[in-house]
Amino acid sequence: MIAQVIIDIAAKQTDRIFEYHIPDNSDVEIGSRVFAPFGKRKLQGFVVGISETSQYQGKLKDLLEVVDEMPPLTSELVELSENMAQKIFAYRISILQAMLPRVMRANYRKVLTPLTEKAKKMPLFQGDPVDLNKLTDPEEIAIVKELIKTQDAKIEYLVENKAKNKTENSFSLSHNLDTYLEINKKVRANAVNQKKLLNFIVENFDEFPILQAKLEQEIGVSSGVLNSAVKKGWLNKKAVEVYRNPLAGYDAPEQKKNIILNSEQEAAFNQIKTSIESQKAETYLLEGVTGSGKTEVYLHSISAALKKGRNALMLVPEISLTPQMVKQVKARFGESVAVLHSGLSEGELYDEWCRIRRSEVKVVVGARSAVFAPLKNIGVIIIDEEHESSYKQDTNPRYHARDVAIWRSKYNHCPLVLGSATPSLGSRARAQKGVYTLLRLTKRVNNKNLPQVNLIDLKHVEFAGGQFDLSVELTQAIKDRLERKEQVILMLNRRGFANFMLCRECGYVMKCPNCDLSLTMHKDTGKMQCHYCGYSQPIPSRCPNCQSSKIRFLGIGTQKVQEELEELLPGARVLRMDVDTTRRKGSYKRILEAFGNHEADILLGTQMIAKGLDFPNVTLVGVINADTGLWLPDYNASERTFELLTQVAGRAGRAEKKGEVIIQTYNPEHYAIQLAQTQDYERFYGVEMNVRHAGNYPPYFYTVLISIASKNEQNAAREAFRIKRELQSKLHAETIILGPTPSAISRLKNQYYYQILVKYKKEKNLNTLLHHIQDSAQEVKKYGLNVYIDNEPERIM
Ligand code: ADP
Ligand code: ZN
Ligand code: ZN
């Protein structure tokens, strides 16, 4: 038999398939990860096909090794990778790699664990796990294979270094209960900690062995006390492996009893259900105002799929993978849920992924890359907040999760539900044309009104305090809520303290040495930071250019607002949530929990706090500055602004208490802001479609963005013009080719960027032409030139 293999050749990528002979004793399947001889090297690759014959004339080499016991990729994913490579101008190998958890992209080790008593007694094991890679004796290998077949032994994957199975200390007891009572009597009363420990042992004798963390928490003693108890012979300590359960902290809340869908929800759900039951690959756009109960429709749809004996895949944006959302799904579907998101450690991600691959779960919830979950037999796919730009990956492979989901829905014969209060213009237009089926939820649950939204024109307003950030009106509104013991959410979509340093003497602006971006001042760390490449330096006290001390830090960020709030409203408890406060694992969850328990009055944050949060006690939402994204040189700046304001407004007044929203802006007459005030998505859609039509922008035109980057600016420009000439000679006259121009941010990480934007309606030759450009980009890599092709970019600036 012959295997068709895509090889990971890092230096020069290609979609060429290499053929190898499969040795008789090896279990190779489609989707297997293998090592193959390549020239003098041994490289990793993926088997994408198996056949009996080959076109190749010479003698084929043998595959060297199969890496995993079970092929990591399903045949569905292998087929998907082929289709994607055609559409998104990424090489197939980069797509196949992107489908796996990060730790699997590196080498890792296989270990065999004996499961049954019989296996443990075999001399081969001597009670311990065996590393399969280290077995050489053919007889031993045969024994092991037999044990796997009979399930007497289990293959476990141990990822090297990065994500070894986690171990924790476990403490067990060495005496009987009477002895501990004896010891306890002898210990003096002033040895407080020892007393505590012994009392605990006596009371919980049957509970042992107990993990260290739990002991420390329950008794309130340090590890020092436990270790000295080990020395005294009271306790035995042993490291044990623990299964990483990312949902451990998410205790499922009381299940809401039998929520009865309202008539709009019912109507939407019934249509989806029909497609689930008849196994029809239909795409639904569920357009529902914030608080209209979309989540409930998703949960019902998942139930309907499970009832049919099928599985469900649900995507949510990274930032709305809140404990709240995870808890809800978990409460409904319990142990059969797997969660995939970047907040998990690599090991946890890997464990969850393995559970899915081994078909141990029925429901997968995750962010963008979860669209590649190796889940089989999918009965419904859901994408919540479908308008979110984070569903598009903006590095290689540049895929959109929505497009992948559409493909998988066809493959699995199941419906896809796209949900949003503010659908992307493209999706809404497709629903208009009948490509998607539009389902609408126009009312909030229980007929709660949408909150009242007030605009404050920052051009004509009185400010509280000495700064120009918080109007008197907004400050007063916050004060009112605090007095009533209600809570407030404040958004400013900019982190740090001040976003640039300006010298008033010479006009110098402090910029990143690697990027064409100003440095942001972070007061808490005392640094000027580049938000793109991470470069930082101490905050200067004088202008580095002219030594003047007349330097100013301008523009506001969340840190500055926090400082102002604490000055203006002494005693108010403020929690800040932005990239800087949520870097550490679990901090996101902790902040939200603290706010949920009313340990703080104000939750201040970047767009992180705009989506998905459901806090009944929040009656005021304030937007400090609505204009942060309004004038970006990008065709969808208005859409993004409207979306963000509508989403954050939806956080107010979700329960009994009435909600109010205050939006501060310098552009109260802009249509995106005016229509966000009335939260009128349908009108916004109408207006914005006209704007797009007039400017020849999506969804009226398709777009491709070609970026050319080099450390040498002239080389980048020269290659950009060469590509433009190639495009011009082969494309229709009515196709619009813009550029090359320097990108809006012309230099990043010491690379100069030029870009060409192609806007077209129909272009038969474009795909072939772009693949050609992609291949010639491999050739120019050696001159330090990088060419990136982004099909349907989310951003074109
Ligand atoms: P959306 O996702 O559309 O913003 P949610 O799904 O978060 O809205 O629903 C808002 C609130 O209403 C949630 O607390 C949810 O549990 C509740 N809810 C949804 N549907 C119903 C219903 N049919 N009856 C009662 N409460 C509901
Ligand atoms: Zn100066
Ligand atoms: Zn930088």
| More confidently predicted of 527 and 25 | 527
- Please state, in angstroms and as integers, the Cα–Cα distance from residue 693 to each residue in 598, 629, 697, following that order: 47, 22, 6
CATH number at residue 384: 3.40.50.300
Q: Is residue 447 in some structural domain?
A: no
Cβ-based burial of 730 (10 A; exposed 0-12, middle 13-18, buried ≥19): middle
Q: Quote the pLDDT of residue 496.
A: 94
- Name the least confident of 224-233, 251-260, 323-332, 650-659: 251-260
Count how many residues are written for the chain.
Answer: 797
Same-domain check for residues 351 and 458 = no
Tokens of 104: 């699997």
Domain membership of residue 170 (yes or no) is: no
What CATH number is attached to the domain comprising 80?
A: 3.40.1440.60
Is 504 within a domain?
Answer: no
- Would you say the CB of residue 659 lies under 6 angstroms from ligand 1? no
291 lines ligand 1 (CB under 6 A): yes
User: Is the model's pLDDT at 249 over the cut of 70?
Assistant: no
Q: How far is the CA of 529 from the centre of ligand 2 (A)?
A: 19
DSSP secondary structure letter of residue 519 = P
Identify the nearest ligand to the CA of 504 by its number. 2
Q: Does the beta carbon of 420 lie inside 6 Å of ligand 1?
A: no
**Is residue 111 domain-resident?**
yes
CA 663 – CA 470 distance, rounded (Å): 11
Ligand with an atom nearest the CA of residue 530: 3
**Separation of 265 CA from ligand 1 center, angstroms?**
10
Partners of 441 in the beta sheet?
288
State pTM to two decimals: 0.82
Q: What residues make up the domain containing 89? A: 2-104
Residue 130 confidence (pLDDT):
79
Same domain, 471 and 599: yes
- The whole-number pLDDT of residue 341 equals 77
User: Is residue 133 located within the same domain as residue 150?
Assistant: yes
Residue where one domain finishes, among candidates 646, 664, 691: 691
| Test site for ligand 1: of 297, 445, 657, most ligand atoms within 8 A of the Cβ | 445
Position with higher pLDDT, 45 vs 327: 45
Single residue among 631, 663, 691 that ends a domain in this structure: 691
Summarised one tens digit per residue, pLDDT across range 516-570 is 999 999 998 999 999 988 899 999 999 999 999 999 999 999 999 999 999 999 9
Mean pLDDT of 305-333: 85
**Residue 549 Cα, ligand 2 centroid: separation in angstroms?**
8
Q: Is the pLDDT confidence value at 160 over 70?
A: no
What is the three-state SS of 416-433? EEEEECCCCHHHHHHHHH
pLDDT, position 106: 52
Domain end marker among 666, 691, 716 = 691
Q: Is residue 720 part of a domain?
A: yes
ipTM surpasses 0.90? yes
Ligand 1 close to Cβ of residue 614 (< 6 A): yes
Which numbered ligand comes closest to the C-alpha of 655?
A: 1
Domain count, the chain: 6
**Residue 533 belongs to a domain:** no
- Is 732 inside a domain boundary? yes
- Asked whether 559 lines ligand 1 (CB < 6 A), one says no
The residue whose CA has the least distance to atom 23 of ligand 1 is: 261
Residue 506, annotated as binding a ligand: yes
CATH assignment at residue 773: 3.30.70.360
The verdict on the CB of residue 327 being under 6 Å from ligand 1 is no
274, 407: one domain: yes
Residues 274 and 379 both lie in one domain: yes
Q: Is 354 among the annotated ligand-binding positions?
A: no
Task: State in Å: Cα 631 to ligand 2 middle.
Answer: 28
pLDDT of 491 > 80? The answer is: yes
Q: Are residues 466 and 564 in the same domain?
A: yes
417 and 342 share one domain: yes
294 Cβ below 6 A of ligand 1: yes
What atom in ligand 1 is closest to the CA of residue 289?
A: 3
Give the ligand with the smallest distance to the CA of 751: 3
The pLDDT value recorded for residue 266 is 97
- Band of residue 246 on the pLDDT scale cut at 50, 70, 90: low
Give the residue-averaged pLDDT of 770-789.
90
Ligand 1, pocket-test mutation among 296, 329, 443, most atoms within 8 A of CB = 296
Highest averaged pLDDT of the listed ranges 314-323, 375-384, 506-515: 375-384
**Are both 401 and 302 inside the same structural domain?**
yes
Distance CA 654, CA 52 (A): 62
Q: Is 290 near ligand 1, meaning CB less than 6 Å away?
A: yes
pLDDT of residue 140: 82
Residue nearest to atom 17 of ligand 1 (CA): 293
User: Considering every ligand atom, which ligand is closest to the CA of 651?
Assistant: 1
Task: Single out the residue of 436, 414, 401 nearest to residue 80, CA to CA.
Answer: 401
In the DSSP assignment, the letter for residue 159 is -
Taking 50 as the threshold, does the pLDDT of residue 500 lie above it? yes
Average pLDDT, integer, range 118-122: 80
Computed on alpha carbons and rounded to an integer, the radius of gyration of the chain in Å comes to: 30
Q: What percentage of the chain carries pLDDT values higher than 90?
A: 58
Please report the pLDDT score of residue 206 as a whole number.
79
How far, in Å, is the centroid of ligand 3 from the Cα of 508?
Answer: 17
pLDDT at residue 11, as a whole number: 66
Q: Is the distance from the beta carbon of residue 331 to the nearest atom of ligand 1 less than 6 Å?
A: no
On whether residue 258 sits in a domain, the answer given is: no
**Are residues 666 and 572 both part of a single domain?**
yes
Q: What is the pLDDT of residue 503?
A: 94
| Mean pLDDT score, 237-263 | 65
Least confident of 46-55, 62-71, 357-366: 62-71
Proportion of the chain above pLDDT 70, given as a percent:
94
Q: Is 445 in the pocket of ligand 1 (CB under 6 A)?
A: yes
Q: Is 80 found in the same domain as 182?
A: no
| CA of 518 relative to ligand 3 center, distance in Å | 8
Average pLDDT (614-642) is 93
Tell me which of 223-232, 256-265, 568-577 is least confident: 256-265
Is the confidence at residue 166, as pLDDT, over 80? no
Q: Relative to the CA of 294, which ligand 1 atom is closest?
A: 3
Q: What are phi and psi of 337, to 5 degrees?
A: -105, 135
663 close to 454: Cβ distance less than 8 angstroms = yes
Same domain for 27 and 62? yes
CA distances from 420 to 155, 320, 697 (A): 42, 13, 22
710 and 742 housed in the same domain: yes
* pLDDT value of residue 65: 84
